[in-house]
Structure 1
Amino acid sequence: MNAITPNSADLDQREVLFTPLTVRNVTFRNRIAMSPMTRGFCPNGTPGENVVAYYRRRAEGGVGLIVTEGIAVDHPAALGDAGLGENNIPVLAGDGPIAGWRAVVDAVHAAGAKIIPQLWHQGAMRKPGTGPHPDVPSVSPSGIWGPLGRMTSIDPGSIPADPRIGEPMSDEDIEDAIQAFVRCAENAMKAGFDGIALHGGHGYLIDNFLWKETNQRNDRWGGDRTRRSEFAAEIVRRIRAVIGEDLPIFFRFSQWRQQDFRSTLADSPEELGEVLRPLAEAGVDVFDASVRYYNSPAFKGYPENLAGWAKRLTGKLSMAVGGIGINQGMYDRDKPVQAVVDYAPLLERFGRGEFDLIAVGRAMIGDPNWAEKFRAGQEPEPYRKENDGILT
């Protein structure tokens, strides 16, 4: 790969990403976040010193904010086999996991960065018969996995033969799931985290409520787009009540989901507003707009990406993610993965205020010092697929 040598003007442009940002009463030293990436190094759900070292290195490498890998909430159907070893996905319940995360938080703080946990419930994507509670059925708002035969990278053996995987969730089931998120938010406060992130995309439980194909209810929890947002909004309201007014809440959403890469949450800015405004009103501070290519317009006829529309429609902050520092989107395998050193599109979009933070994923697996090298105009170490499972 031929590196592009940045000139002084380019380096000056990059400095805008190194201005502090205060959200509520938490200040991030710069606008670069480490994106959440599922791993499998927490036996029995508990992070050890190897996980501490993994996150410490990214903080030492100059990142302003770390959003952790998905942490399963305290609900029996939250977690199943993710192809990463039995019971190796982290949790945030019980003295051991809370103490383990406290060690991670302390190490990240000592290196000058902030860190928030991404709370996660697999919902319809949980593989039945797996995880810490294999006898518990998987849950989905309408008991539906999603339409079959759509574009997906899921192994055929993990796709159900019938799109209906069980009964619709009862009001009691829904309340239990909400309380699980709240308990883990309370535990995150015990561990010293700097806020909360919610995984509301990619076909998992919160997204199951947002997406019309998996939410076919016609009650408080379903119907039009605004009512399909009520489950997520109620989680946000309850979490805001327990963490107080000083800490930020991030919310990840996506147009696509694993059941159907071509699916959409909204087909116009107006429709997206119907989804996101209830969440903003409930207490979300930053929308984490997950796309495979950050530089793609969200809607035909408009230049803004998905993060830009989230910011415009809600008046809240937004974070762009998707292929930053990498030449291809997640799940796209039509060309070799290479580092990207031409950041002009990223700097142009950020410079015009389209979004407020950027989240870097695989490029930061490849090089823990990505943030510092980006600032200095140095070429980072390349990302390699085989490094996903290596503690570096």
Structure 2
Amino acid sequence: MSALFTPLKLRSLEIPNRVWMSPMCMYSAAPEGPETGAPTDFHLTHLASRAAGGAGLVMAEATGVRPDGRISPWDLGLWNDRQQEAFARITEAVKAHGSVPAIQLAHAGRKASVDKPWLSDRYVPESAGGYRAVAPSPVAYDGLPVPHELTVDEIHRLVRDFADSARRALAAGFQVAEVHGAHGYLINSFLSPAANHRTDAYGGGFENRIRFALEVVDAVRAVWPDDLPVFFRTSATDWLTESPEDDREGWTGEDTVRLAKELQAHGVDLLDVSTGGMVRDAKIPTGPDYQVPFAARARAGADIPTAAVGLITEPRQAQEIVAGGRADAVFLGRELLRDPYWPQRAALELGAEPSWPDQYAYVVRRRERD
């Protein structure tokens, strides 16, 4: 049987295959009013269609744990009852197709309050419906305003915000909670010396810079059932220190292995391995598998399950990643936008049995017989 289409059990949850939908911002929620941040019919169709397409796990996009945690004013949020009720429709639809509903809980930090990328991707000021960004230090992301430096009390409040949002996610029917610690957003900004210039207990050495991440994980794990998994998305490198031409200090692959060991000790079940996002001008390599080695390195070095993401486009490429032990699963993003039924097609190509909805299976199988 294809390794890509074998189940993966994390705690008591069995995920039916290793092809998962990556969280992708759609910038399609209401930016103001009673429906602010609540998923819409678009999100229902967007996520449920990938479940019907055979993805074993469907991850909702980066979801702000509070209003200023959204990347843009049009992003999803989960801090009130209306948002929770709207998400419940989505989890029911995803489960109805045999997939696992997951959600990525996030705070955008110093990269918050920007326009839709197809419009301008520029900062949206408070006067135009935006909000002030916050960060571990008053260090601006390229092209954006200087963020507010968080006080220790504000950091503690944010930890509680993540826990409150996780509690709502569980009530809405999600079976996996992922803490977003990547791409230059808030948690990632605490981790990297490129953005964290603090001199208190949340800055300086490695142990201090990972403190906020571990406190968030502890808070989420405390409200999440023991039999359900928690994921953590990381940027395995800023592409600063690991780029020979760049003399700036940043976060490295070695740091990621050290963090992975700590995360696992604090109850994280899988590391979702991405890269980059801290600075615009980092030199990032391109080509197939450019991030996969980091997933493999964390898996081997920390003995933690990992998922690989980025430029994974072909079934046999994904199969090799999993079968070769480089990662335990693959997250697909843009490829699932191009082809929502990629997992079904991959199953056929790799000799596995597609998991068509009953409403489709009769027609599909009849055509195969004909």
Same-fold call, TM > 0.5? yes
> Aligned residue for 1:234?
215
Q: Which residue of 1 aligns with 2:132?
A: 137
Of 319, 323, 326, the residue aligned with 1:351 is 323
Superposed, which structure 2 residues align to 1:81-92 within 5 Å?
A: 81=72, 87-92=73-78
1:230 and 1:278 in contact (8 A); partners too = no
Q: In structure 1, what is the Cα distance between the partners aligned to 2:274 and 2:21? A: 13
Aligned pair partner of 2:96 in 110, 113, 121: 110
TM-superposition CA deviations, 1:112-156 (whole Å, max 9, x none): 00011111111011146547995753111012125x5xxxxxxxx
1:265–1:115 distance in 2 versus 1, CA, 3 Å: farther
Q: Distance in 1 between matches of 2:126 and 2:25?
A: 15
What is the CA–CA distance in structure 1 between the aligned matches of 2:55 and 2:249, rounded to whole Å?
A: 31
Pairing 1:130-209 to 2, within 5 Å after superposition: 130=125, 136-146=131-141, 159-160=143-144, 165-209=146-190
Identify if the C-alpha distance between structure 1 residues 258 and 324 changes in structure 2 by more than 3 Å, giving closer, same or farther. same
Determine which of 17, 31, 39 is the counterpart of 2:18: 31
Tell me, in whole angstroms, the C-alpha distance in 1 between the residues paired with 2:289 and 2:326. 13
Deviation at 1:309, TM superposition (A): 1.3
Could you give the per-residue CA deviations for residues 336-359 of structure 1, whole angstroms, max 9, x where no partner exists?
Answer: xxxxx4x54443332221210100
CA distance in 2, matches of 1:97, 1:259: 38
1:47 equivalent among 14, 33, 39: 39
1:18 aligns with 2:9: no
Distance 1:258 1:53, change over 3 A: farther
Instruction: Tell me, in whole angstroms, the C-alpha distance in 1 between the residues paired with 2:239 and 2:29.
Output: 24
Q: Which moved more, 1:36-45 or 1:108-117?
A: 36-45
Give the Cα separation in 2 of the matches to 1:80 and 1:317.
Answer: 28
- Kept after mapping to 2: 8 A contact 1:60/1:111: yes
Cα shift at 1:166: 4.3
TM-score norm. by structure 1 comes to 0.75
Change over 3 Å in CA distance of 1:194–1:240 after alignment to 2: same
The 1:287–1:168 alpha-carbon spacing in structure 2 relative to 1, beyond 3 Å, is same
1:159-198 deviation line (CA, Å, top 9, x unaligned):
037xxx1453111110111111111000001101002011
- 1:272, CA displacement in angstroms? 2.9
* Cα distance in structure 1, aligned partners of 2:286 and 2:19: 17
3-state SS of the aligned residue for 1:377?
A: helix
For residues 204-223 of structure 1, the aligned pairs below 5 Å read 204-223=185-204
Quickly say closer, same or farther: Cα 1:367–1:296, change in 2 above 3 A. Answer: closer
Q: 1:181 to 1:26 in 2, by over 3 A?
A: same
1:369 equivalent in alignment to 2:369: no
- 1:94 maps to which residue? 80
- The amino acid of 2:37's aligned partner reads G
The residue aligned with 1:278 is 262
What's the CA shift for 1:202? 0.7
Q: How far is the alpha carbon of 1:46 from its aligned partner? A: 1.3
Moved more, 62-71 or 135-144: 135-144
Pairing 1:307–2:295 present:
yes
Shift of 1:54: 1.7
SS in 1 for 2:149: coil
- Aligned residue identity for 1:353: G
For structure 1, list consecutive stretches of 5 or more residues without a partner in the other structure.
Answer: 1-11, 82-86, 149-158, 299-303, 326-340, 379-392
Q: Deviations over 1:201-255 (max 9, x none)?
A: 1110010001101111232212222321110111001111111211111111114
Are the aligned partners of 2:190 and 2:196 in contact in 1 as well (CA < 8 Å)?
A: yes
User: How far apart, in 2, do the equivalents of 1:215 and 1:117 lie?
Assistant: 27
Q: 2 CA distance for matches of 1:377 and 1:221?
A: 49
Q: CA deviation at 1:306?
A: 0.8
Rounded Cα–Cα distance in structure 2 between residues aligned with 1:56 and 1:100? 14
Aligned to 2:116: none
Aligned to 1:67: 59
For 2:265 and 2:54, locate their aligned partners in 1 and report how far apart those are by CA, in whole Å.
Answer: 33
| Amino acid of the structure 2 residue aligned with 1:107 | A
Match of 1:317 among 302, 305, 320: 305
Q: Distance in 1 between matches of 2:126 and 2:87?
A: 21
CA gap 1:98/1:25 in 2 versus in 1, 3 angstroms: same
| Whole-Å separation in 2 of the counterparts to 1:140 and 1:258 | 20
What is the distance in 1 between the residues matched to 2:133 and 2:240? 15
Displacement of 1:258 in angstroms is: 11
- Change in CA separation of 1:313 and 1:238 when aligned onto 2, cut-off 3 Å: same
- Residue 69 of structure 1: CA displacement? 0.8
- Tell me if the contact between 2:166 and 2:177 (Cα under 8 Å) persists in the aligned partners: yes
Contact 2:22/2:59, CA 8 A, preserved across alignment: yes
Aligned-CA RMSD value:
2.7
Asked if the contact 2:253–2:294 (Cα under 8 Å) also holds between the matched residues in 1, the reply is no
Letter paired with 2:98:
G
Change (3 A) 1:242 1:374: same
- Higher mean Cα deviation, 99-108 or 42-51? 42-51
